[in-house]
A and B are shown apart, each in its own frame.
Chain A
Amino acid sequence: MNTLIFRTVAPYLSALMLLFSVFVLLRGHNEPGGGFIGGLIAVSAFAIYGIACGVSAVRRAMKYHPMSIAASGLLLAVLSVMPSIFLGQSAMTSQWLAVPFLGTVIDLSTPLFFDIGVYLVVVGAISSIALSLEERAD
């Protein structure tokens, strides 16, 4: 399994998969995709990197502990539920903000932040399980 070819390719492959996971996350509002599936893609990227280069390398690459990532995602998701409280609407009512940026218009919305929260929760929770299982297998 742990061949030279795999170890050489794995970092590039993981980087590509992480990029793709963000792409899937961002297109999620209007087209198939979203935080959950994006998060799963990111976790498989970390898992591949872990199989190739060891769990400690993944933990270094993630910088923060996976559980902290999951917790911050949960916080972000909870916060994204809140803004409608100031407008007299019910919880989770989506708020939209169109921001002009370099000639295009970017839609910033509370569902987007909720989705990013979901992405972080999935990345954190599942990669912490995957890493602890890989650690045990070593």
Chain B
Amino acid sequence: MAATKPAIDMTAAMVTEAVPLADWLLVAPILLTMTGGALAIIFRKKPATQPWIAIAVISLVVFSNIALLNHVLTNGVVTMVMGSWPPPFGIAFTADPLGALLALMASIATLCVAVFAMDSIATNERRYGFYPFLLMLLCGVTGAFLTGDIFNLYVWFEVLLISSFGMQILGNEKVQIDGAVKYAVLNLIATTLFLAATGLLYGLVGTLNMADIAIKVQALDGSGPVLGLAALYFLAFAMKAAAFPVNFWLPASYHTPRLVVAAIFAGLLSKVGVYALLRVMVLLMPEGRDWLSSLIGLVAIATMLTGSLGALAQTDIRRLMGYLVIAGIGAMLAGIAVGNEAAISGAIFYAMHSVLIMTALYLLVAFMFQISSTFSLREIGGLYVRSPMGAAIGLVLLLGVAGLPPFSGFWAKLLLVAGALEAGRGWVVAGLLVSGLLSTLAVGRLWIFAFWRGGNEHTVDGIQALPIAGSAEPKEISLTIWLPLVALTGLIVLIGVFPEGMMSVSDYGAKTLLDPSTYIASVFGGTQ
């Protein structure tokens, strides 16, 4: 057949300019995690080597993502089209500062979880595929952050969803199956709504490439269908991000899986929803965002208050953490609601901070369980005596999640408040500050009860409770538990003390989102 084929010049149909090697950094995280996942499956009978494969691969991904962020910061938005087909026909991968930054943070959080899991995931759970699922989850998350095609975004959503289902039921307990039913059904409905919106968008503008959509939606000038689609996208992604009226699945399910698994869920999954909101509402449909901005603001405030009030009301530490995740989502939504440069920059900063701190907090809960064997805020106590170092880490993380200086959350909230004041949205500022106060109360009480108090609820102040007779000696805390905790805490303190670098990245990210011309130019080579 090939012999009869007429010689045809393909240059008209394909991109022929040479692609610099650095652009391969865009697909490197995906290729690496897929290779790592395949190797981890092949080595599933050797639970001792599996973690090392995962750690080696994820470390490579971290390095590649650092290089990618550096590439984006020096050369602007980077695009690579699959198969050299010119956009908008080829599927494009496009990294702007927002995507590259979140991809880097996600890989760092996953690395910490992979190290932490060496000790806390049992051998038979490794056989059921913890590490392959972890790698595929990272693959889906980075794919979602780096893709420049909205249907491709849906595919990455499904990749991360199916791996998260697998991780959710790791351990096969009754509670996990109960949690998994709620988690899985609600998330699948959200993703299906996203797909429906994408189908309608394709019917409206006839393209799936994000840069092309941005151009064509601009031309439609905020007509009815665009606004309706924006509302549908908002519902779908708000459901994934666990925003107020559709947040109930998160506290019902995040306390059921293994804590390392919950750590990666809390760090990555809801942030993917926020990322998608930033991408679709701010970059693709700015008119839709303007139209919905009051609604998003109300949802944001309700989400923050639900989160912080829920955190105050819980006695189970794992469920308390679930509500703290929700409170953080509310703060990011507030940034989207306000929508000026400072506020979007604050939302990006907060998303970056939230990936690190929520992962770290769930790892801290796992650490607390290891030395106290309880999740109840009434039973726990006296951890300061058992581990002063753990108490110090706990203090940093808990104050950090409430947004107190000098930790990274403070700068994110500062940007959000500054942006909201600039836009004259006093009520958003009030919501942010009240929710910050309530979260501070909740986490302050958690720290005092768990670490500072001498023993359980009935211990008199100033007395060290006697160890309960027959209770086992607390287990030795190994290096694989300390290392990720200390690394994440160190990063949070470091970003908190030297925020300028991160702030310039998030400002740059906000600029590229609000003015899509650089994004579009990167995809279409400046011709449009």
Contacts and interface: CB of A to CB of B under 8 A. Distances in A.
A105 interface: yes
A81 interface: yes
B203 interface: no
Interface stretch (B23-31, B309-317, B515-523): B23-31
B153 to A, nearest CB: 18
Contacts of B15: 90
A75 interface: yes
A90 B525 CA distance: 15
Contacts of B19: 88-90
A97 to B, nearest CB: 10
B175 interface: no
A8 interface: no
A90 B2 contact: no
A122 to B, nearest CB: 15
Nearest to A86: B21
Contacts, number: 65
Q: How large is the interface on A (under 10, 10 to 19, 20 to 34, 35 or more residues)?
A: 20 to 34
Given A91-B27, A93-B84, A107-B2, A85 B21 contact: yes
A71 B41 contact: yes
A68 interface: yes
Contact of B27 (A70, A81, A89): A81
A110 to B, nearest CB: 10
A78 B31 contact: yes
Contacts of A85: 21, 24
A75 B34 CA distance: 8
B34 A92 contact: no
B437 interface: no
A67 interface: yes
Nearest to B31: A78
A74 B2 contact: no
A19 interface: no
A44 interface: no
Contact of B41 (A68, A84, A89, A98): A68
A12 B85 CA distance: 44
B124 to A, nearest CB: 15
Contacts of B44: 67
Contacts of A98: 2
Interface of A: 30, 67-68, 70-72, 74-75, 77-78, 81-82, 84-85, 88-94, 98, 105, 107
Interface of B: 1-3, 14-15, 18-21, 23-24, 27, 31, 34-35, 37-39, 41-42, 44, 80-84
* Interchain residue pairs A-B with the least CB separation, the first 6: A71-B41, A88-B18, A71-B38, A74-B38, A93-B84, A92-B83
